[in-house]
Chains A and B, each alone.
Chain A
Amino acid sequence: MAAVQTTSERALNKVAIISVLIVTIIFLAPIYWIVSTSFKPRHLATTVPPTIVFEPEISPFVKLTLRRSQLREQPTPEEYTAAPWWERLVFDGGEKIVRSGRGEVQLSGYPSRFVNSLIIAITSTILAVAMGTITAYGFSRFKMPGEQDWLFFILSTRMLPPVVVAIPMFLMYRVVGLNDTHVGLIILYTAFNLSFSVWLMKGFIDEIPKEYEEAALVDGYTRMEAFFKVVLPEAATGIAATAVFCFITAWNEYAFALIMTRRDAQTAPPFIPSQVGSGLPDWTVIAAGTFLFLLPVAIFTFLLRNHLLRGMSFGAIRK
């Protein structure tokens, strides 16, 4: 392909590269803004035009994770030098870290919200993908009366937007005591993702020739063993793709979380904006929270990228 390029081809190439660059910049700009803001001192966060070059500091992350309050009076020089480096960062910002009677630091609301998000998203993803795979296998391999109707019914559970369902769910959850519990949100997200998981996995499993399992059956394995030893490894790509989709949905979910959780099981999405409203917002802290919130999806997607590239074609290219 190292053949001679005509001038027009070369020009076209340049145009293509420049367009890709522009699009990339447009897409990455908000992310850069968030990331850079989360490393800025507070007074640089809201400058117009935005500061591009600055000395990064991690005080926003300290402020994000620890409880703090406004300084009434400046700390004495002794207090200042006795404080650890991260506490000094907070002093520098005109705030102080709240300590208990015994002098222990306390965590802010963010870490527990983040952990809640992790627990709920991971558990519901595992459940939705596992149940979806088994259900899809059943639909794919066995004949059952009304198969198409069942599949449509499963899909239809996804057709109502969450906000429509949220109020009735809230009332029902109140009766059974599931409001503001991890289990409650896990059930909700699993149910919400299940229809999607079934449909996606059915597509992938349909692509796996049933002769693979039949060979295993003839070779002396039970159907269960054939499923685990032959079908599952073959479906790994599809499982990875489905898991990423389910995880992203559960991780980012806002409407249910806003209505169904308050404190104990609150996830990060409704918590982060709630901080904007409390007092004069410290945008660096909000940016830091948002930045950390972006990380798990990015890491998860990155780890599964090889499976995803094949999986995203929805089984169209299979070798």
Chain B
Amino acid sequence: MTTEIQLRNLQKWFGSNQVIKDFDLTIAAHEFIVMLGQSGCGKTTTLRAIAGLESIDEGDILIEGEPVQHLKCSDRDIAMVFQSFSLYPHMTVYENIAFPLRATRMAKTELDAAVREIARVLQISDLLDKKPSALSGGDMQRVAIGRALVRQPKAMLMDEPIGALDAKLREQMRAEIKRLHIKQGSTTVYVTHDQVEAMSLADRIVIMHDGKLQQVGPPEEVYLHPANLFVAQFVGSPVMNIADIDIGSAGGGAEIRLAGSDKGFAFGEGALSGISRDAPVALGIRPEAVLLSQSNAKGHLPAVTTNIEPLGSHDIVDVKIGDQTLRARTESGFVGGEGQEVWVNLDPEQAHFFDRESGLSLRKAG
């Protein structure tokens, strides 16, 4: 159950459509990896390739250092939880969970003990005699996880296992999956397109886009230091503001002018070290780093509010500076209404700079 998985330079085509591109990733033993990306970016295909359900065109998949890309999936000793759960309808819950063990020709008493133990851990002991069609979504998901765990596989793959559940149940199952992982410690690759799920579960998040790996790192690193424009905009809610800027200098520091605006924000020189002033640069700033003020404090620029989204715990306020709109996060009720004059400043500590053309972050990570 303590297995390292390596993916080396994976390539996969469906016809002329390349679905996985130059994919490199090393998953440490016990690690909980979450693959995050939009629909159609190749998450499922990557997972299926690891499981052996999909062939790969180039590259290596190594489990415990052994290349497995030529092994049948039954020989890889990996368990998978499918998005649709795929519980066998003609078998009881007990038989569903016992099914992987029956493939190993395990002794009856041992098998029975293993099934009952996993059922106890997952709190489904009273469901063992039922058919899957009689279960609720949450229980089906527990059974599916039980079926995957019972064999104590080398690794667990989960393809949006709770995507089909309603929001409340999802939250509950998320906590449960985390608890189970801490208890069992199996190497896990978990696929989702829900960033909250990714943030709360992952040891490391793998962000994919168009079959390409964009960034790998612990959740806070991905959030605080996005490697490129795609990650910056994909992680975090509401979405990070991206604005075209000119960089000038004023008073021994740098001045950040939003495109179409004649005044700028004063940033210390340190915030901009190593960033070329000539190439087109985009500023990325999260709504919580857009600071609003009711009065003209030092360094603030005037702006007009254009839209307010009250979210209970806080408000999201759109402000217009020049011809650019930034979204700011404020206390609830901070701004009275639309069309109001407010003063805006940016937190240089939380500013990100990206190369407009390549999209890559211009700030050194860390």
Residues in A with CB closer than 8 Å to B51 are: 218
Most A CB within 10 A of own CB, among B74, B77, B80, B99:
B74
Nearest-CB distance from B22 to chain A (Å)?
Answer: 26
A201-222 residues with Cβ-Cβ distance < 8 A to B are 209, 211-212, 214-222
Q: Would A220 and B53 count as touching, CB distance under 8 A?
A: no
Given A217-B73, A218-B51, A220-B74: A212 and B88 within 8 A (CB)? yes
Given A233-B90, A234-B89, A319-B133: A219 and B84 within 8 A (CB)? no
Contact of B74 among A222, A236, A319 (CB under 8 A): A222
Which residue on A lies nearest to B157, using beta carbons? A218
Cα A219 to Cα B86 in complex, Å, equals 12
B102-157 residues with Cβ-Cβ distance < 8 A to A are 103-104, 133, 147, 151
Which residue on B lies nearest to A213, using beta carbons? B86
Q: Would A219 and B82 count as touching, CB distance under 8 A?
A: no
Cα A219 to Cα B51 in complex, Å, equals 10
Cα A217 to Cα B78 in complex, Å, equals 10
Given A230-B88, A234-B90, A319-B133: A219 and B53 within 8 A (CB)? no
Nearest-CB distance from B68 to chain A (Å)?
Answer: 13
Number of B interface residues at 8 Å Cβ cutoff, please give it. Answer: 23
Which residue on A lies nearest to B159, using beta carbons? A211
Cα A217 to Cα B74 in complex, Å, equals 5
Residues in B with CB closer than 8 Å to A221 are: 74, 103
Q: Would B89 and A219 count as touching, CB distance under 8 A?
A: no
Q: Would A214 and B53 count as touching, CB distance under 8 A?
A: yes
Contact of A219 among B90, B103, B133 (CB under 8 A): B103
Q: Would A209 and B84 count as touching, CB distance under 8 A?
A: yes
- How many A-B contacts are there with CB distance less than 8 Å? 58
Q: Would A219 and B88 count as touching, CB distance under 8 A?
A: no
Residues in A with CB closer than 8 Å to B151 are: 219-220
Cα A215 to Cα B100 in complex, Å, equals 9
Tell me, yes or no, whether B222 is within 8 Å of chain A by CB. Answer: no
Nearest-CB distance from A269 to chain B (Å)?
Answer: 37
Interface string of A59-79 (1 = CB under 8 A from B): 000000000000000000000
Tell me, yes or no, whether B316 is within 8 Å of chain A by CB. Answer: no
Which residue on A lies nearest to B74, using beta carbons? A220
Contact of B82 among A214, A225, A234, A319 (CB under 8 A): A214
Cα A217 to Cα B77 in complex, Å, equals 10
Given A220-B74, A319-B133: A215 and B104 within 8 A (CB)? no
Most B CB within 10 A of own CB, among A216, A225, A234, A319:
A216
Tell me, yes or no, whether B79 is within 8 Å of chain A by CB. Answer: yes
Most A CB within 10 A of own CB, among B88, B104, B147:
B88
Contact of B104 among A212, A217, A218, A220 (CB under 8 A): A220
Nearest-CB distance from B78 to chain A (Å)?
Answer: 6
Interface string of A258-277 (1 = CB under 8 A from B): 00000000000000000000
Which residue on A lies nearest to B83, using beta carbons? A211
Cα A119 to Cα B77 in complex, Å, equals 47
Residues in B with CB closer than 8 Å to A209 are: 84, 86
Cα A317 to Cα B5 in complex, Å, equals 42
Residues in B with CB closer than 8 Å to A234 are: 88-90
Interface string of B57-76 (1 = CB under 8 A from A): 00000000000000011100
Nearest-CB distance from A143 to chain B (Å)?
Answer: 11
Q: Would A211 and B103 count as touching, CB distance under 8 A?
A: no
Residues in B with CB closer than 8 Å to A215 are: 80, 82, 86, 88, 147
Residues in B with CB closer than 8 Å to A217 are: 52-53, 72-74
Most B CB within 10 A of own CB, among A209, A211, A229:
A211
Cα A226 to Cα B78 in complex, Å, equals 16
Cα A209 to Cα B87 in complex, Å, equals 11
Which residue on B lies nearest to A222, using beta carbons? B74
Residues in B with CB closer than 8 Å to A216 are: 99
Cα A216 to Cα B133 in complex, Å, equals 19
A233-251 residues with Cβ-Cβ distance < 8 A to B are 233-234, 236
Given A220-B100, A221-B74, 14 more pairs with CB closer than 8 A: A211-B84, A214-B80, A214-B82, A214-B86, A215-B80, A217-B52, A217-B74, A218-B53, A219-B74, A219-B151, A221-B103, A229-B99, A233-B88, A234-B89
Listed in ascending order, the chain B residues whose CB lies under 8 Å from chain A are 51-53, 72-74, 77-80, 82, 84, 86, 88-90, 99-100, 103-104, 133, 147, 151
User: Can you list 16 pairs linking A and B with CB atoms under 8 Å apart?
Assistant: A212-B86, A214-B82, A214-B86, A215-B86, A215-B88, A216-B99, A217-B72, A217-B73, A218-B52, A218-B73, A218-B80, A219-B74, A220-B104, A222-B72, A229-B99, A319-B133
Q: Which 5 A-B pairs have the closest CB atoms?
A: A220-B103, A219-B100, A211-B86, A233-B90, A215-B86
